[in-house]
C-alpha cells in the first residue's frame, strides 16, 4: 500500500471553512442544538443524509412532558427513575423533567402541529407513565418535529449545512477537540471549530433486527472513543417489543402508544400472555415486555406473537395511527380486520458518551447530545417518549457554550489540495462491505440481543477480535492518517456509497466490540441488559459501567432517587 507524504502535501490551493461550532448529526438533537446556539456564532452542520432522514424522524409515539392539569414534574421524575432500574442520575432526570414545558412551548412557537383536544394539547398514555403526558402529532411525531426544526435551520444565515457528508474522525490538538475530518463533495476536509457537538444518534444497525434507520451506525460514539472520550453503560440496549414481523417486510416499529390506547398482545392461540410475566401486562416497561415475548416464544416454539388493535375503536385507530395502518396494509395485513405479527427489535441505546448537565464530554471542546450521549436520564432502561425530550433539553444547554471571539477560526483558510489518486485503496466492492456488515449484525443478534450469556459473549468477542485485526489492514484505513489542516481530493474510483459503507462498517466494528465487552463485564441483569447466567439484579452493581480506551470499571454507586 503506497502512502503519500501527508506531512508535506503537494498540490494546488483550496479553501476550507472554520466555524465557531461544528454540529455532527441532522436529527432532532443536532437541529435543536444548532438553533439554540446564539446566532452571532458561525455554525457548520454535518449530516450523512438530508435533514429529514434520522432516527428522530422515525419516532412515532411522541414526546413526554408533565404539563397536564393532573400531572407534575415530580411524578415524571419518579416514573423515569423507576424505569431506569436504579441507574438514572437523579439530578439529570430532574433537569430533564423540569425543562420539558419550556421546550414544548418553543416547539409550538416554531410551528410544530401537535394534536389537540378541544383546543388543548392532546396527551396519551404510554407504558410505565403514571399520567397521560405524551404529546403527539398522529403517529409521526418525530417527523413533525424534525421537519419544522430543519426548516428553521435552513433559514438561519449563520448555519452552513453539509448534506451527504460523513465525519470520519475528530480533530484533536493537545487533548482538545478542534473540529473533525469530513468527507463531502468528493473531498476530505478538516473543518475547524471552537466547539464540536456530536449528535449522530444511536447504533441500532449493529443488530440484525432493528427499528433504526440505516444511518444509525454509532458514528459519534465510535469517533469519541477513538479520540479518548469516556463512555458509559454501553451494555444497555432497549429492544422494542413490537416491530412488524410480516414476511419480507423490514422491521417497522409499532408504537407503544398503540398499546397505551388499548391494543392487546396475544399468542398463536389468542391468549393474552403478557400478564403471566408482569402485573402491568402490555404496559410494563419495554425491557419486561420484550423479555416476556422472548420467553413466551421459547416456551411455545412460535416465531412471533400478535398485536391485536381491534379493542381500539376504528375511528380512534385511524385518527391516531394512520401511518402504522398504511404501512401494515402495504405489507398485506389490516389491523382493523385481524391481529398483526410482531417481534422485538433493537430500538434505543441507553449508553453512550459520558456528559454532564451541560452536555460537555470528558474531552475539552467536545459535546454530545441525544442518543449518542449518556446524560444519566435513561439509566438501564429508557422511559417511553423521553428520548425526543432529552434531545431538546440537553440541546438547549448549548446556548451557553463558552466560546470566545478571540478564538474564532478564520472563515476561509487557504490550504493545499492533495490528490489521492496515487494511493492504492484496493478494489473492495459495496457488496462485499455489505456482506461483512450482515455477518456482524447476525453475530450481535445471536450473542448480545435480548438474552445474553458468558459463553456466547466470549465467543463473539473472539470472532470480532479477528475481524477487527484484519480490518485495521484495510487499504482505506490510510484515510484515518490524513494530516490535519489540508484538503484531500478523493480518488475517482472511490464513490460516495462505498466510502460511507466503509466508514460505517468500521464504526460498527468498534461499537460492537464495546457492547460485547460491556455486556460481559456486567455480571447481573438490570433494565435492558439481561444475562441468563446472572438473572438477578445485584445491589453491588448499582453503578455505571465506565469505559476509557480498553479499560472497564464501575463508577461510584448510583443513588436510588
- 500 a catalytic residue: no
Collapsed DSSP state (helix, strand, coil) of residue 544: strand
Phi and psi (nearest 5°) for 489? -85, 125
* Parallel, antiparallel or unpaired: strands 187-198 and 487-489: antiparallel
Residue 94: how many CA atoms within 13 Å on its side-chain side? 4
Per the CB < 8 A criterion, the answer to whether 111 and 41 are in contact is no
Q: What is the rounded CA–CA span in Å between residue 422 and residue 487?
A: 15
Q: What is the rounded CA–CA span in Å between residue 236 and residue 354?
A: 14
As given in the structure block, the three cell numbers for residue 385 are 417518549
Give counts: helices (H), strands (E), the chain.
15, 23
Residue 47: how many CA atoms within 13 Å on its side-chain side? 22
Choosing from 178, 189, 286, 382, which is the catalytic residue? 286
**Cβ burial, residue 234 (10 Å; 0-12/13-18/19+):** buried
As given in the structure block, the three cell numbers for residue 397 are 444547554
Nearest to 391 by CA among 363, 445, 441, 355: 355
As given in the structure block, the three cell numbers for residue 302 are 412460535
For the packed helices 496-521 and 454-471, what is the interaxial angle rounded to 10 degrees? Answer: 150
Rg (alpha carbons) of the chain, rounded to whole number: 23
Q: Which residues are catalytic?
A: 286
Amino acid at each position: 500500500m503506497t502512502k503519500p507524504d501527508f506531512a508535506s502535501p503537494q498540490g494546488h490551493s483550496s479553501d476550507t471553512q472554520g466555524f465557531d461550532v461544528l454540529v455532527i448529526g441532522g436529527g432532532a438533537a443536532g437541529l435543536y442544538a444548532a438553533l439554540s446556539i446564539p446566532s452571532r456564532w458561525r455554525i457548520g452542520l454535518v449530516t450523512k443524509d438530508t435533514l429529514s432522514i434520522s432516527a428522530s424522524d422515525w419516532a412515532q409515539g411522541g414526546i413526554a412532558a408533565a404539563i397536564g392539569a393532573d400531572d407534575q414534574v415530580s411524578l415524571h421524575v419518579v416514573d423515569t427513575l423507576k424505569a431506569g432500574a436504579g441507574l438514572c442520575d437523579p439530578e439529570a432526570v430532574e433537569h430533564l423533567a423540569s425543562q420539558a414545558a419550556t421546550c414544548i412551548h418553543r416547539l409550538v412557537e416554531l410551528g410544530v402541529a401537535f394534536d389537540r383536544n378541544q383546543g388543548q394539547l392532546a396527551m396519551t398514555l404510554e407504558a410505565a407513565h403514571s399520567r397521560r403526558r405524551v404529546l403527539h402529532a398522529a403517529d409521526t411525531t418525530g417527523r413533525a418535529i424534525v421537519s419544522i426544526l430543519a426548516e428553521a435551520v435552513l433559514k438561519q444565515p449563520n448555519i452552513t449545512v453539509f448534506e451527504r457528508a460523513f465525519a470520519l474522525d475528530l480533530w484533536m490538538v493537545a487533548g482538545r477537540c478542534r473540529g473533525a475530518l469530513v468527507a463531502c463533495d468528493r473531498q476530505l476536509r478538516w473543518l475547524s471549530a471552537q466547539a464540536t457537538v456530536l449528535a449522530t444518534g444511536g447504533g441500532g444497525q449493529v443488530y440484525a433486527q432493528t427499528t433504526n434507520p440505516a444511518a444509525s451506525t454509532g458514528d459519534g460514539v465510535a469517533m469519541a472513543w477513538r479520540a479518548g472520550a469516556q463512555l458509559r453503560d454501553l451494555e444497555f440496549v432497549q429492544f422494542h417489543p413490537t416491530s412488524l414481523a410480516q414476511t419480507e417486510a423490514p422491521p417497522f416499529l409499532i408504537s407503544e402508544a398503540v398499546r397505551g390506547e388499548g391494543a392487546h398482545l396475544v399468542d398463536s392461540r389468542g391468549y393474552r400472555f403478557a400478564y403471566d410475566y408482569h402485573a402491568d401486562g402490555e404496559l410494563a416497561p419495554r425491557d419486561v415486555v420484550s423479555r416476556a415475548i422472548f420467553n413466551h416464544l421459547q416456551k411455545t416454539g412460535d416465531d412471533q406473537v400478535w398485536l391485536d388493535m381491534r379493542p381500539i375503536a376504528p375511528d380512534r385507530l385511524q385518527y391516531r395511527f394512520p401511518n402504522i395502518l398504511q404501512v401494515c396494509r402495504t405489507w398485506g395485513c389490516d389491523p382493523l380486520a385481524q391481529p398483526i405479527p410482531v417481534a422485538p427489535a433493537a430500538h434505543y441505546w441507553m449508553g453512550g458518551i459520558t456528559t454532564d448537565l451541560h452536555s460537555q464530554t470528558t474531552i475539552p471542546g467536545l459535546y454530545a447530545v441525544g442518543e449518542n450521549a449518556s446524560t444519566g436520564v435513561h439509566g438501564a432502561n429508557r422511559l417511553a417518549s423521553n428520548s425526543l425530550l432529552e434531545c431538546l433539553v440537553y440541546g438547549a444547554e448549548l446556548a451557553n457554550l463558552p466560546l470566545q471571539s478571540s478564538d474564532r477560526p478564520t472563515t476561509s483558510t487557504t490550504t493545499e489540495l492533495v490528490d489521492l489518486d496515487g494511493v492504492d485503496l484496493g478494489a473492495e466492492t459495496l457488496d462485499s462491505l455489505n456482506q461483512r456488515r450482515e455477518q456482524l449484525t447476525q453475530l450481535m443478534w445471536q450473542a448480545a440481543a435480548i438474552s445474553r450469556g458468558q459463553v456466547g459473549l466470549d465467543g463473539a468477542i473472539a470472532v470480532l477480535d479477528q475481524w477487527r485485526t484484519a480490518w485495521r489492514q484495510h487499504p482505506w484505513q490510510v484515510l484515518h492518517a490524513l494530516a490535519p489542516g489540508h484538503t484531500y481530493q478523493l480518488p475517482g474510483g472511490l464513490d460516495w456509497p462505498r466510502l460511507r459503507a466503509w466508514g460505517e462498517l468500521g464504526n460498527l466494528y468498534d461499537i460492537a466490540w464495546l457492547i460485547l465487552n460491556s455486556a460481559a463485564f456486567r455480571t447481573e441483569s438490570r433494565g435492558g441488559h439481561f444475562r441468563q447466567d446472572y438473572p438477578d439484579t445485584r445491589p453491588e452493581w448499582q453503578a455505571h459501567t465506565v469505559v476509557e480506551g480498553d479499560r472497564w470499571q464501575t463508577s461510584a454507586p448510583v443513588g436510588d432517587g
